[in-house]
Every structure is written in C-alpha cells, then in structure tokens.
Amino acid sequence: MLAPLGISEFTESVYRAMLGDHTLSVQQLAERLGSTEKRIRQALDQLAALSLLADDEPDGTLRAVGPAVGLSALLAQAESEMQERQRQIAATREAIAAIALEQERHTQRDNAMRLEGVDTVRGRIAQLADTVRSECLSLNPRSAQTPQAKSASAALNQQMIERGVQLRCVYQESYRNDPALVAYARWLTGIGGKLRTASTIPMLTIVYDREIALLPLDPTDSTRGAVEVRSAGVVAAVYALFEQIWAGAVPFGETAPVDANGLDPQAKQLIQLLADGQTDEMAARKLGVSLRTVRRMAAEFMDRLDARSRFQAGLEAGRRGWI
C-alpha cells in the first residue's frame, strides 16, 4: 500500500509492527515477522532515511513516527514532485509553441514555403514525388491516415518505388485496429516499401532526399496545411528524429515485443503518459486509440499495481522499473 511513497511491503510491515509496540527490539521484530535481523536492520535504515523513525525515547530506543505526521509528509512530497513535473511539462509545451511561432515568423529567411490547406499540400506532394531521386521517409500518425489520404498517396508511392526510390514509413501501432490501413500496409510492403510501427508519432512528417521536409502547420490538425522546409539544419534535425523513431519501431508483420513485465511498447508509453500527468483524452490522442481503450488499459494497470489512482499507478510503475 505504501510502495508509491518508496516503502517496500516488508518495510511497511516493520513500520506497522513498531507502531503497535515501540518497545520491540530488532530480535523481537525478526521473530514476529519471521525474518532475519539483517533484513530488519535494512528496513529500519529505510524508515530512518524517510524520517519515519525518531530516537527521542529516554532509553535511546527508536520510535516509529505516527502516520498522520510521517506518511502525510511523504505523500505531500510525492504530490509536490508530481506538480513540479507537470509544471515542467507545461513550460516545455510553451517553449515548443514559442519555437514553432519563431519558425513561422522567419519562414522566408529559413528557405521555407507555407502551403495552405490539404489540397495545396497534396499537390505539392505529387510534385515532390516526381522529382525525388533516392529516398522518401515519412512519419504517419493515426489521425492523418484517412481513406482520402491513402487514396491520394497510393499511386505516388508506387511510382516512386518503381523508379527505385527507397520508401520508408513509420505508422502508429494503433493502425492495426483499422482493417483498411492494415490492407494498405500489406500492399505497400508487398511492392517494396519498408514499414514499421511505433506507439506514438509526434506529427505527420515527410522527408525527401534529406533535402526537403514537409511539416504540418498545426501538429494536431494536418488538414490546415504544411510548411516546406529546405534549411539544412532543420531538415537534418527532422531526419535524425525519423531515424531515432525508426530504430525503435517494430517491422511490419512482426508482433510488438513484450518485456519481462508483460508490457508492449504501446502499454509502456501509456504508463509513461499517465505518470507524466497526461489526461485520458490526451493519452488517447497521442496513442491514436479511443478514449475507451485508454481507460480500459489504465484500469488494468491500476489493478495490476494495486493502485487507487493513476498518480499512484505511475509512481508504482516507476518504482518497479516498468518505465
């Protein structure tokens, strides 16, 4: 029950025993709990480090600090740390928004061209597909994979592959829930495209020959348009991001790996999102799954971790090394 506060189950049992009888010696604690004196001393050291023991008894024996004081202080500290993390996340989000605004203000200076609306973007994609020489890379979040988008890209992708252009795509893991997207992925890999899946995709992105990158004007709504970037530094950064995601992604047709805790990449990502204080709605959007799916998975994690809240589940998952 106290694991989210950094107290192991055994240490908690020692703490409870001392609350019941503060006169118990190390030997008596070991006998009562069926353990060794060495293990009892280790638990006492942990309790002392957490300020849950006091040595203010006249005879010098240790006394367990009452839960109303000791445990409440630890809980307040844990909540404060979570609030600080949420503050840092909010500050990071503001910094990203500021960077994006700065980029938009200096599009001309950075050799960028603004493409307004989905039809303009698709027209430009068709032009770039005709001129690309060796490589086309793309990151494809679930939200951008509409039937219209797939219909528009199918012929272009086939033409590029037939010309010898290497096509590498990363799709969101949740695409497996859409039969139409699965069929498209099977067709694309069948004609020579390379496809992998990742639990989260930051935004719709296309890179041509490591020279041109298309980025959305609004990462949450690709229909608003895109910005075509030719700045060497920006394109190199986008390319590096793709390679990082590609390296950790799962090849199409293979089952996502499950770690020793029984978690696949999507499950681990959800735990991390919840531990970061993300809402169910935000987690569902980032994972490309339904709100109902997120809530079902979160409830399963809470049950596995014996947690009463998402906050507690996130702390416990971190303590166990799940994330």
Does 83 fall in a domain? no
Report how far residue 28's alpha carbon sits from residue 48's, in angstroms, rounded to the nearest whole number: 19
Report how far residue 80's alpha carbon sits from residue 98's, in angstroms, rounded to the nearest whole number: 27
179-190 helix and 147-162 helix, angle to the nearest 10 degrees: 10
Does 79 fall in a domain? no
Q: Are 113 and 212 in contact (CB under 8 A)?
A: no
List the structure tokens of 250.
């799962």
Does 205 fall in a domain? yes
Does 94 fall in a domain? no
- Beta-carbon contacts of residue 193 (< 8 Å; ≥ 6 apart): 157, 161, 167, 168, 169
Report how far residue 135's alpha carbon sits from residue 157's, in angstroms, rounded to the nearest whole number: 11
> Last residue of a domain, which of 200, 221, 251?
251
> Last residue of a domain, which of 235, 251, 267?
251
Query: What CATH number does the domain containing 154 carry?
Result: 3.30.870.10
Owner of token pair 């609350």? 19
- Same domain flag for 239 and 263: no
> Last residue of a domain, which of 223, 251, 279?
251
- Same domain flag for 134 and 167: yes
- Residue type (1 letter), 52: L
Q: Please give the average per-residue pLDDT across 40-46, as a whole number.
A: 82
**Structural domain total, the chain:** 3
Least confident window among 51-55, 153-157, 205-209, 303-307:
51-55
Least confident window among 20-29, 110-119, 131-140:
20-29
- Same domain flag for 205 and 309: no
pLDDT, tens digit, 9 for 90 and up, residues 66-110: 777 777 777 778 788 888 888 888 888 888 878 777 766 665 455
Q: Are 197 and 266 in contact (CB under 8 A)?
A: no
List the one residue out of 101, 113, 128, 118 whose CA is nearest residue 225.
Answer: 118
CA atoms within 13 A on the CB side of 18: 27
Reported as a pLDDT band with limits 50, 70 and 90, residue 123 is very high
Percent of the chain having pLDDT more than 90? 24
Does 84 fall in a domain? no
DSSP conformation class of 307: -
Residue numbers of the domain that contains 299: 257-319
- Same domain flag for 116 and 195: yes
